[in-house]
A and B are shown apart, each in its own frame.
Chain A
Amino acid sequence: MRFAAAITEPTRTPDFQANAKGKLPTRRQTIKRMLAAAALLTTTALTGIGFGAAPAQAEDEIRIGVIYPLTGAAASTGVELKAAAELAAAIINKEIPAPPGLVAGIGLPHLHGAKIKLIFGDHQGNPQVGATEAERLITSEKVVALTGAYFSNVTATASQVAERYGVPFLNGESSSASLTQRKFKWFFRTTPHDDLFVGNFFTFLHDMEKKTGDKLRTVALFNENTLWGNETTKLQVKLAEEQGFTISEKILYPAKTTQMTSEVQRIKAAAPAVIMQSSYLGDAILSMKTYKELGFSPKMLLANDAGFNDSEFLKTMGKDGEFVISREVWALDQAERNPLIKQVNDLMHQRSGVNFNGNSARAFTGIAVLADALDRAGSTKPDAIREALQKTDIPASGLIMPWKGVKFDANGQNELGQGIIVQVQGGQYVTVWPFDVATKPVVYPMPAWDGR
């Protein structure tokens, strides 16, 4: 609160005191004071900004910069991500016993048991702030690597800064495909990107055809009309053409719409086997209610995460939300399949009282993959870390993600990542695809509304 004093002090206290005593400052003195106030303000700020400029750091402390949205609209997500990153650091530093099998460079043996220290930066969901924080972490906090930033557009600017300074940037949870099309030298991404997720839908349909013998070649696209829905639609149209699917209806609607009767009637008239839907929460709920009202049930409703996976969706829909199929990046039922996921999730639950979700699980994995590379690098030199990241080869068994592993291609994209597909069964999201990580079989076709 030093600057609070700086603002009020020169204008109020001294002048009024002087006034009371009858000794009035001349105008020039007043101006001098005002300038002094401005100078004080600036210097205070600069000391503040450079607060950690020369931190007394232990010899064996490895500083990693972590940029998340810790305030603003996405703050609740940011806090979850932070908790997951801190859990990963605690495991790596052996503050808590490491679950057997987890690959995370635990104890950093090749760095003589050095400890990692996470330095957090808050980007507030603003790309410029993200870049500012990245620069501060690199130049003032002397971090050896950066991770973050959840928002794709913030990851874009923050990773540009890292690229310019030649510092490795590992992104664990931004899904815009363009990020790894930039041919950056210092950028690595563990999560699969949006194009791959959309591609998963068609692979899933092929797999279902093989499994059931049914034809699922007629598809209706029902997407909201902002960037996300538009990008998804474009890709779906392209992939459908390439893979021999027919688009029987394509509707883009405004996400804030209050009624969908005419849209749903159009889809019903087109009678597709599958609806592919990208919706936020409100419109997802509205569409389900309209389907029921009009007694329309396709063989399969294939949703694109977002609204359909929001915790509010099932609360509102109750039983009417059953049998919806949606894509996901992670699901809690994976813990039943993989004891490592259960152990790590238990640790998370003990520490912060919440289970992992798709975002926090990916944030955890980001730190783990980075620590694994740091350890193998045996050095904190940027080049060594980068080289180790390039040589990363983590098997599926060492991860808490439903992936085939972690291995980066020439653009820094993890080529072994994959999405999963979940279905609401008994009020829970259960993994139904890929079949090798599924915990339950798919309920297909979706039962008609009057047959439930």
Chain B
Amino acid sequence: MTTGTNFSRKAAGTGALLALAAVLPLAITEPSQQNFLILILMGAQMGVAWNIVGGYAGQVSLGHAVFYGIGAYTSTMLLTTLGLTPWIGALVGGLLAALFALAMGWPCFRLKGHYFAMATIAVAEIMQILVTNSDFLEGAVGLYLPMDRSGWTWLIFLSKLPYYYVILGLLVLTVLVSWAIERSHIGYYFRAIKDEPEAARALGVSLTRYKLIALSVSAFLTAMGGSFYAQKEMFIDPGSVLATTISIKIALIAILGGVGRLMGPVLGAVILITIEEYSRTLFGSTGSGTDMIIYAAMIILVAVFSPSGVLGLLGDVHRHLGRHLPGAKPEAEKAEKMEVRP
């Protein structure tokens, strides 16, 4: 599908984008602005991870906070009780989340569409209640990470810069996994399941198996994001890593940017986090709720003008123009134009 020149152009584009991302925090030295960039990358990472199951495989999960929470709690518990470095803790958290996804997906994938989404909400709610009442996990009091440790072993830093590069690396990893899936036969199965589940089954694609693969890979990556959250904020409680609002935000980022497109969630995160932070900083301190009104209005605007996400909107404009262009290429490829591929 991709020609050689096209591919190298994309590779160059990706390289440029990565290089820009790598030097950006060197130019922006204000810690609160670096923090803002980190929040964007965190949002993007969650969105790309969600996109694997919610976008490609079309199984909309509104309970991803459960994986985020498993990641955050696992690495933190291993760090505080066993003194295990979060580098390993995050991997363990990811594996636990993937296992949990298998256990949760087995019954939940018997449900379709909205019913599946509702089941995921229920699972996330149950998990939040369980953790809130768990003495072992310090219940609603929450867990603190030790502030006396710092450095790369413990992944705790005073400066924002290391956090930025860690989350950038995690985002790149997540995008790579997503890209690999998109290009592989699994990715085609996912899309077949999304578009025509009956036809896919008729062709011998095991629906449950591939849905489970999608959910567990997505869960693994989401959990890594959760571990990063714990390392960055150094305090977790059910309200901060298992809340329904996190599930919604994860899905919203992907939906806003463009579901089922590699870089859609990245664009979605840039837009959503920007609106969120910008409106709060400018209007939040008034206490009149102006920031929330503006935030909501922006989301409604995007939803009205672009139900297929901002990438979809851009694609539409593109296609609209493309029709008038001599030698226009097939639409599908144009839609992919914004997708940056390494």
Contacts and interface: CB of A to CB of B under 8 A. Distances in A.
Among A8, A70, A120, A139, the most chain B Cβ lie within 10 Å of the Cβ of A70
Contact of B133 (A41, A42, A139, A230): A230
Interface SS of A by simple majority:
helix
Interface SS of B by simple majority:
helix
B140 A228 contact: yes
Nearest to B290: A71
Interface in B112-155: 132-133, 139-142, 144, 147
Contact of B233 (A12, A26, A127): A127
A30 B270 contact: no
Contacts of A416: none
Interface in A234-282: none
A160 B234 contact: yes
A379 interface: no
B274 A41 contact: yes
Interface string A217-232: 0000000011110110
Interface residues of A, number: 65
Nearest to B310: A7
Interface in B153-182: 158
Interface stretch (B25-33, B99-107, B184-192): B25-33
A12 B270 CA distance: 20
B278 A49 contact: yes
A182 B144 contact: yes
A127 B141 contact: no
Interface residues of B, number: 59
A71 B334 CA distance: 42
B139 A3 contact: no
A17 interface: no
A19 to B, nearest CB: 7
A79 B284 CA distance: 11
Contact of A129 (B274, B280, B289, B292): B280
Given A157-B233, A164-B147, A227 B133 contact: yes
Interface of B: 28, 30-33, 35-36, 39, 132-133, 139-142, 144, 147, 158, 229, 233-235, 237, 239-240, 245, 267, 270-271, 274-275, 277-278, 280-282, 284-287, 289, 291-292, 294, 298, 301-302, 305, 310, 313-314, 317-318, 321-322, 324-325, 334, 337-338
11 contacts: A7-B301, A19-B321, A27-B321, A48-B282, A71-B284, A71-B292, A122-B285, A135-B31, A156-B237, A157-B233, A225-B133
Interface of A: 1, 3-4, 7-8, 11-12, 15, 19, 24-27, 30-31, 34, 38, 41-42, 44-46, 48-51, 53, 68, 70-72, 75, 78-79, 82, 119-122, 124, 126-129, 131-132, 135-136, 139-140, 153, 156-157, 160, 163-164, 176, 178, 182, 225-228, 230-231
